[in-house]
Structure 1
């Protein structure tokens, strides 16, 4: 029996009409996705095609806001074509919609590292029920919910704090969510030389992603990368990745060494892992020696912890809006007046190195 697709209404009537390209080798899937998106006032499918080559040809002459891309395509795979697609239409958000790129798989993490904004598992062509259309619209709406039809008023962003660092750099904390894996690849690309301090990293990902994410991250940097475990002794030039089911927090051992203590309790906002508990714990242990970096992501996770870092004498750098997939998390700390700089990821580590040396 064929499922009836319900009419969708957007919760945000001001959201602009998102111009969409659907790339899938199944005519059934392309038709169903078109019906789902065109039933919502926030989306319009401009074009559908069955191959990456046809998609690239279309994008050479047309601009879209969203590309729903399958992985398994005739000819060039969606994963292989992803860098070219983003090069041709760099402002578009690419969402991988595939039954062969499940959340937690190595292909999913690779797609996110290459610049995909999100990953969605696609049901089989005969199993589109009532839940999938609603889930698809809600997931995509979160990517475009802050994009109004009319040009926005200037966003209120407090001027960056320009005072110099007051203590030598002792530890770096990084928080990221949607679009974060691609931003992290640029961040570590900008690291010219090891900084001699431990790096704590919280990327919002399910627990099933953790191992593949750490493996992908180790290919982005010469630094040692490991998934954080309770009892880990913090070592310089090592990246400690929060597992998907716990926050990274810190404590001092009886001998005064700093070790990791994982906390599996969700934050009040529901985040797990969360940037706020990691930042707050870093501030408590390292005080003015902390540098926090907030990258692209939805929501406000990191703002409360960033305030603790600044109160302790540390400092915060945020990713700029232009390079962010979603300027929620970095925009929140910027709007709260907690940043000493706002810049693209490629420039952040050089800034951190220079500012850290000034204090030393």
Structure 2
């Protein structure tokens, strides 16, 4: 006999985050989706259930903003339970999550007619990759657009710690996402003279946009711009751009020369390219000579790698909240107490150049 027991979660909630209930009879699906949402500061999984009946019991006593509901459930189906779920809490949004409820299908149309907010196709077993993860978050962000923006714009701020630079700047890494292209234009406008070090750049963009993005960068700056390739020897005053299908990392080769090493593996948060692996490899290769710039962007990519840079003796500058389109990435780094300064992009290169000479 199978007993449908609720699976509880004890995730620390972020104030204002979208409180989410996952209802699916597969423990794998529940775990994967919880992991995806827990990587997003705008969402908090408050409960998981494997049946509609247990989900309704939870909704009777707890406030929830979002229900991710599977169609096929033991006992009462998700579709049959949908009206009761919507009645249980007037403002709740329900996103149907099912492998047999494609957009445009009869079941999908019925679910939407009953009041579901969206339909998300669930992939087959073992296929929960980046495409599904990003697609799910994109769909949910559209349902809670203003809420998500508000959460990402109110990350706690730890005052920057102005520790002295320990070594001269040897390599500068730049990470950006939403709103990043405009911020990069301002960043490079503030570059008044060559810095004498290589620059590594990871901007969250699909692979098909990489060449066009590099061409845009060439119009923004007099520095040489190159889409990074494995084996490239890092040269000063050259911007190496992460391709859209690989992380831009560095390693020290023969005779101490530092070269590019592309890595196609997605980060645990699903980013590709990711700022975290770029920063982490810089910390390993350059130590206290590494520095990072974190610009506007959704999510927290860059925080783990920034911690590696700071631990190695390097330093981090982040974009301030007022000038950011989304203060997710820079706000996360600031909230972790990893920054030595918060400022607008056009101020950054002058600051980096001056600080980079301190250790000389």
TM-score by length of 1: 0.61
Cα pair distance change 1:254/1:159, threshold 3 Å: same
In the alignment, what sits opposite 2:266? Answer: 266
Contact 2:276 2:303 in 1 (8 A): yes
Cα pair distance change 1:14/1:170, threshold 3 Å: closer
Unaligned runs of 5+ in 2: 1-13, 18-108, 120-134
Q: Structure 1: how far apart are the matches of 2:282 and 2:355?
A: 18
**For 2:147, which of 145, 148, 151 is the aligned residue?**
145
Cα pair distance change 1:340/1:13, threshold 3 Å: closer
In the alignment, what sits opposite 1:204? Answer: 204
Q: Structure 2: how far apart are the matches of 1:274 and 1:336?
A: 18
The size of the alignment, in residue pairs, is 234
In the alignment, what sits opposite 1:344? Answer: 344
Cα shift at 1:163: 1.4
Cα pair distance change 1:205/1:161, threshold 3 Å: same
Contact 2:179 2:326 in 1 (8 A): yes
Mapping 1:146-161, distance limit 5 Å: 146-148=148-150, 155-161=155-161
In the alignment, what sits opposite 1:241? Answer: 241
In the alignment, what sits opposite 2:32? Answer: none
Secondary structure, counterpart of 2:184 in structure 1: helix
Unaligned runs of 5+ in 1: 1-11, 16-128
Contact 1:157 1:334 in 2 (8 A): yes
Contact 1:143 1:326 in 2 (8 A): no
Q: Structure 2: how far apart are the matches of 1:163 and 1:316?
A: 11
Quote the RMSD (CA, aligned, Å): 2.7
Mapping 1:38-77, distance limit 5 Å: none
Deviations 1:124-173 (A, max 9, x none): xxxxx99x987886454575334459xx9x75211111111010000000
Contact 1:200 1:241 in 2 (8 A): yes
In our comparison, the structure showing a higher alpha carbon Rg is 2
In the alignment, what sits opposite 2:315? Answer: 315
In the alignment, what sits opposite 2:35? Answer: none
Cα shift at 1:291: 1.0
Q: Structure 1: how far apart are the matches of 2:185 and 2:345?
A: 9
Secondary structure, counterpart of 2:192 in structure 1: coil
Q: Structure 1: how far apart are the matches of 2:266 and 2:280?
A: 15
Deviations 1:31-77 (A, max 9, x none): xxxxxxxxxxxxxxxxxxxxxxxxxxxxxxxxxxxxxxxxxxxxxxx
Contact 1:186 1:345 in 2 (8 A): yes
Mapping 1:89-100, distance limit 5 Å: none
In the alignment, what sits opposite 2:328? Answer: 328
Q: Which moved more, 1:155-164 or 1:257-266?
A: 155-164
Q: Structure 2: how far apart are the matches of 1:142 and 1:243?
A: 30
Secondary structure, counterpart of 1:358 in structure 2: coil
In the alignment, what sits opposite 1:215? Answer: 215
Secondary structure, counterpart of 1:255 in structure 2: helix
Cα shift at 1:222: 0.2
Q: Structure 1: how far apart are the matches of 2:332 and 2:15?
A: 23
Contact 2:141 2:148 in 1 (8 A): no
Q: Structure 2: how far apart are the matches of 1:137 and 1:230?
A: 34
Contact 1:299 1:329 in 2 (8 A): yes
In the alignment, what sits opposite 1:169? Answer: 169
TM-score by length of 2: 0.61
Deviations 1:208-251 (A, max 9, x none): 00000000011000000000000000000000000000001111
Q: Structure 2: how far apart are the matches of 1:247 and 1:339?
A: 23
